[in-house]
Amino acid sequence: MIQKQKEENQEILEQSISHLKFSGFENIKADMPNYETPKTFKSQRSGLEITPDLSATKNGRKYFFDISLKSEKPEILKSKWLLLDTFSRLKSNRFKIITTRGHFKFTEDLLKEINLSQKEFIRI
């Protein structure tokens, strides 16, 4: 989710946090008020700073989550997902995408465009 959408879709972030808690995730960090902010990654090529929407741990393994909503700027989402996927694989962490009803097809198409079609997303 890009920054503009985070301000407009706080309830989706809260639903995602409750889903993660229910699924057994601990130490949940969210890019929203009243929560600790997840680690920020910086691309050396473009200088772009990227913060995942959520991060959590489960069974000693760190997970990064990004929420997929329809956007007018899908290029930003593609760059963010590729960077998060790369960083998570380097450190043997996991990267997952969370999406909601009405955004499945958009998410699926974006994943195919950036060759991450094998990645399954969490449906809320």
CATH assignment of the domain containing 66: 3.40.1350
What is the average per-residue pLDDT within 100-108?
92
DSSP reduced 3-state for 50: strand
Name the residue range of residue 22's domain: 3-123
For residue range 27-83, list pLDDT tens digits in order. 999 988 889 999 998 878 778 788 999 999 999 999 999 999 998 889 989 988 999
DSSP reduced 3-state for 45: coil
Q: Which residues contact 115 (CB under 8 A, 6 or more apart)?
A: none
Domain count, the chain: 1
pLDDT (0 to 100) of residue 18: 95
